[in-house]
């Protein structure tokens, strides 16, 4: 249902209390909308410092989530950790709508079904196969070549739930690590000879659909370290990625914000790699980089409000992920240079503890030229230590 | 003390819990900084929906405020309702620094001292006189002409604490209304024959000083209804207003964000009318209109962080204040058009109740041409009802 009015007591509930809920909340607050969060963690999450309406519970407990949902007008999510069956039950028992809908989730929560959904919609995906024993692992390697990826069909995130395997021994080990021997569906995915990884965000609801610029995600050990927008690739590739992202959002009848990650292959093909029914790290640059951020359009989309423009504010945006380098109470050191740089924007997530490799903050620099902007963003953040 | 590091548990306390604390908090959150608010109101303030750290108490009770301040790393303010004596006592007893400092407040909290401070610094102010009886009221009218303004020397805000008087009878009545018979110092101020009202914000701390573009404030019945930036006046006037604003901030040794309102007279003089040691309605357009908003620079300034650029993001910005037109639980109706307009940004304050004339929300439109942008902003917000 679209909405043309914002009552002051509107309450948006997040199942999940991580940094994506936190950054979405900042946009909800701009509209005078209240925020409630449901956390499944024991440690304090930063968004819990931003609302008096914080609940703890388990993502497996329908009752916990129904109780929470009853106090909210709309529920949304910031992760893919809750199964669509449970979401459907929470929605039905609480009477509070959940967006993206449980039906949408059911089409992408499992990597096998996700790939089938998108293939059916005519979207090229990376070659894959369900593997369930040694011989199927071996066959896949022979067919597509070593190394390849093994992925648990549920719950992958930031490289967790994924393993690269170079030979049968590694494949067998990874199969067990990923829970294949405990009934978890394991997907083998061919290694794609890509030249770039691209990403596109799409916001969609009953009022319309908007698509963000195609950006490049720069990965290191399966962790995104930087995002460049617009992606430094030919317009035709940018347009193709945007077209596929729109088609994918249609295919799952998405209401909310969605992110799609693609491989641009050396042959010039664009293959869908992953999808996420939520704001995504590849879209953090939109906070300052585009007229309406992915977080604002997330809030608008799930509340049924008209969506905002996704135009770039400047010709180039570079976003640097700032990862923890210490194991200590979090502290973002040496911020003078990044804070003093024209059009540089520092975001600190407020996490209580720093861990090596943990996403603790990010920095977005806007400029006129992408290469220079990226170089400068790397340079001015080089001393930051968290 | 300047700061080069942001610890994750840093807590910024606001004495006052209104919309300026709310909008400043959104910027503190971006840096992972926690926010605590001290409210002197009984009704729920929107910022209280944005933090678990909310305290109620009296602005007259040093003990209440000391207790609050002890739990914070830095205290700042969003109004001028607390006397500098009390602030100094709270600072001393709690050990928590207050910025802008009690010394700064002492130079501007009283309208007479404020004018003397700025005159001494070479800043032209509107002609004024302390009036204490019928004959001084009469004399002032004879000297500067009727009508003129009467202002209580403390606590004026948005037209409250000010009255325009057209003759001696009105002057005598207003003198009593403003508390002149109860010992409140009353200032008479000559009516200035101005062509425009201008405003400039300045952020300053130990790391440096930044000045925002000179904007025009459009007033109706002493309430600001719109802000246009840059002000549609000659560059020399813009520069002069910025220069005076910088001088004024030096004169009070300001640490924080400050706003100055000026009259541009028909003779081409620029006279300082009012100052505010806090974010100001005239600077709301900076949220999207400039690289760093007044709220972000407020947070940076009081925490001792380097200040951000005040450059305009687009050639023109128009901000429309959206005032309540109903007496009812707040609800912002007919938001489709403003939300769908390219580069239009709606901010709803989340106040629980709407009252006729109450500032409930604002809308900022960015564009290429000021006149067109202003016209369009008025047009797309015409149906909004709160």
Q: Give the confidence band of B155 by pLDDT, cuts at 50, 70, 90.
A: low
Q: Give the confidence band of B159 by pLDDT, cuts at 50, 70, 90.
A: low
Cα four-point dihedral sign A277, A279, A281, A283: positive
CB-CB neighbours of B306 under 10 Å: 20
pLDDT value at B152 more than 90: no
A210: nearest CA in chain B? B340
What chain B holds in terms of domains, given with CATH numbers, is 11-98 (3.40.50.20), 127-190 (3.30.1490.20), 194-380 (3.30.470.20)
Which residues of B fall within a CB distance of 8 Å from A342? Answer: 291, 309, 311
Which residues of B fall within a CB distance of 8 Å from A289? Answer: none
Instruction: Supply the pLDDT for residue A155.
Output: 60
For B116-143, write each residue's pLDDT tens digit.
Answer: 999 999 999 999 999 999 999 999 999 9
More confident of the two residues A81 and B269: B269
A133-142, B145-154, B246-255, B315-324, range with the lowest pLDDT = B145-154
Closest Cα in chain A, distance from residue B203 (Å): 14
State whether B8 and A33 contact (CB < 8 Å): no
Q: How many A/B residue pairs have CB atoms within 8 Å?
A: 155
Q: Give the confidence band of B268 by pLDDT, cuts at 50, 70, 90.
A: very high
pLDDT value at B259 more than 60: yes
State whether A336 and B49 contact (CB < 8 Å): no
Mean pLDDT of A98-104: 98
pLDDT value at A153 more than 90: no
More confident of the two residues A153 and A226: A226
Residue A330's beta-bridge partner residues?
none
Q: Residue B254: which region, alpha, beta or left (left: phi > 0; alpha: psi -120 to 50)?
A: beta
Mean pLDDT of A155-174: 80
The Cα–Cα gap between B273 and B282 comes to 14
A133, with CB counted inside 10 A (0-12, 13-18, 19+), is: exposed
Which residues of B fall within a CB distance of 8 Å from A335? Answer: 4-6, 305-306
C-alpha distances (whole Å) from A21 to each of A280, A308, A382, B373 are: 11, 19, 28, 34
The Cα–Cα gap between A93 and A96 comes to 8
C-alpha distances (whole Å) from B243 to each of B120, B211, B260, B266 are: 16, 9, 11, 20
The Cα–Cα gap between A287 and A308 comes to 12
The Cα–Cα gap between A260 and A214 comes to 10
Considering only the beta carbons, identify the residue of A8, A334, A352 that sits closest to B330: A8
Q: Give the confidence band of A81 by pLDDT, cuts at 50, 70, 90.
A: confident
Q: Give the confidence band of B309 by pLDDT, cuts at 50, 70, 90.
A: very high
Q: Give the confidence band of B160 by pLDDT, cuts at 50, 70, 90.
A: low
Which residues of A fall within a CB distance of 8 Å from B315? Answer: none
Which residues of B fall within a CB distance of 8 Å from A31? Answer: 346-348, 350
Q: Give the confidence band of B222 by pLDDT, cuts at 50, 70, 90.
A: confident
| DSSP assignment string, A196-236 | EEEEEEEEEETTEEEEPPPEEEEEETTEEEEEEES-SS-HH
pLDDT value at A353 more than 90: yes
Which residues of A fall within a CB distance of 8 Å from B306? Answer: 335-336, 339-340
The mean pLDDT value of chain B amounts to: 95
pLDDT value at B157 more than 60: no
Mutate to test the interface with A, among B56, B301, B339 (most CBs of A within 10 A): B339
Instruction: Supply the pLDDT for residue A80.
Output: 85
pLDDT value at A44 more than 90: no
Mean pLDDT of B291-301: 98
State whether B46 and A30 contact (CB < 8 Å): no
B26: nearest CA in chain A? A26
A31: nearest CA in chain B? B348
Instruction: Supply the pLDDT for residue A160.
Output: 62
Mean pLDDT of B10-23: 96
Mutate to test the interface with B, among A32, A336, A341, A344 (most CBs of B within 10 A): A32
Residue A35's beta-bridge partner residues?
A12
Mean pLDDT of B348-364: 95
Q: Which residues are CB-neighbours of B85 under 8 A, at least 6 positions away?
A: B102, B106
Is residue A305 within 8 Å of B335, Cβ to Cβ?
Answer: yes
For A185-220, write each residue's pLDDT tens digit.
Answer: 899 999 898 999 999 999 999 999 999 999 999 999
Instruction: Supply the pLDDT for residue B267.
Output: 93
pLDDT value at B74 more than 70: yes
For B161-170, write each residue's pLDDT tens digit.
Answer: 789 999 999 9
For A242-262, write each residue's pLDDT tens digit.
Answer: 999 999 999 999 999 999 999
Mean pLDDT of A329-333: 94
Mean pLDDT of B178-187: 88
Closest Cα in chain A, distance from residue B133 (Å): 47
Mutate to test the interface with A, among B1, B2, B3, B6 (most CBs of A within 10 A): B6
pTM of the prediction? 0.94
Mutate to test the interface with A, among B49, B324, B326, B363 (most CBs of A within 10 A): B49
pLDDT value at B179 more than 90: no
Which residues of B fall within a CB distance of 8 Å from A35? Answer: 49-50
B354: nearest CA in chain A? A8
pLDDT value at A305 more than 80: yes
The Cα–Cα gap between A134 and A141 comes to 11
């Amino acid at each position: 249902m679209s909405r043309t009015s914002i009552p002051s007591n509107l309450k948006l509930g997040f199942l999940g209390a991580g940094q994506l809920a936190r950054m979405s909340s900042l946009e909800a607050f701009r509209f005078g909308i209240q925020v409630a969060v449901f956390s499944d963690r024991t440690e304090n999450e930063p968004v819990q410092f931003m609302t008096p309406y914080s609940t703890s519970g388990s993502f497996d407990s329908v009752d916990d989530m129904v109780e929470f949902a009853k106090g909210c007008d709309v529920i949304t999510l910031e992760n893919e950790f809750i199964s669509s069956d449970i979401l459907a039950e929470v929605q039905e028992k609480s009477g509070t709508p959940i967006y993206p809908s449980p039906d949408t989730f059911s089409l992408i929560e499992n990597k096998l079904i996700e790939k089938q959904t998108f293939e059916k919609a005519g979207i090229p995906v990376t070659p894959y196969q369900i593997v369930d024993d040694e011989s199927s692992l071996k066959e896949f390697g022979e067919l597509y070549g070593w190394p390849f990826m093994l992925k648990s069909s549920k719950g992958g995130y930031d490289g967790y739930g994924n393993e690269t395997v170079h030979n049968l021994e590694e494949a067998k080990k990874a199969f067990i690590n990923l829970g294949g021997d405990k009934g978890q569906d394991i997907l083998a995915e061919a290694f794609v000879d890509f030249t770039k990884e691209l990403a596109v965000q799409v916001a969609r609801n009953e009022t319309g659909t908007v698509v963000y610029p195609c950006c490049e995600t720069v990965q290191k050990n399966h962790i995104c370290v930087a995002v460049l927008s617009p992606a430094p690739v030919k317009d035709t590739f940018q347009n193709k990625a945007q077209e596929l992202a729109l088609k994918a959002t249609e295919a799952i009848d998405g209401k909310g914000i969605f992110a799609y990650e693609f491989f641009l292959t050396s042959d010039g093909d664009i293959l869908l790699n992953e999808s996420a029914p939520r704001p995504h790290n590849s879209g953090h640059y939109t906070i300052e980089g585009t007229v309406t951020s992915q977080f604002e359009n997330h809030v608008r989309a799930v509340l049924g409000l008209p969506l905002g423009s996704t135009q770039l504010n400047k010709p180039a945006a570079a976003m640097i992920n700032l990862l923890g380098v210490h194991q200590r109470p979090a502290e973002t050191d040496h911020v003078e240079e990044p804070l003093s740089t024209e059009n540089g924007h520092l975001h600190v997530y407020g996490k209580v503890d720093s861990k090596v490799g943990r996403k603790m903050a990010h920095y977005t620099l806007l400029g006129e030229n992408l290469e220079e902007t990226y170089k400068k963003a790397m340079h001015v953040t080089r001393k930051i230590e968290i």
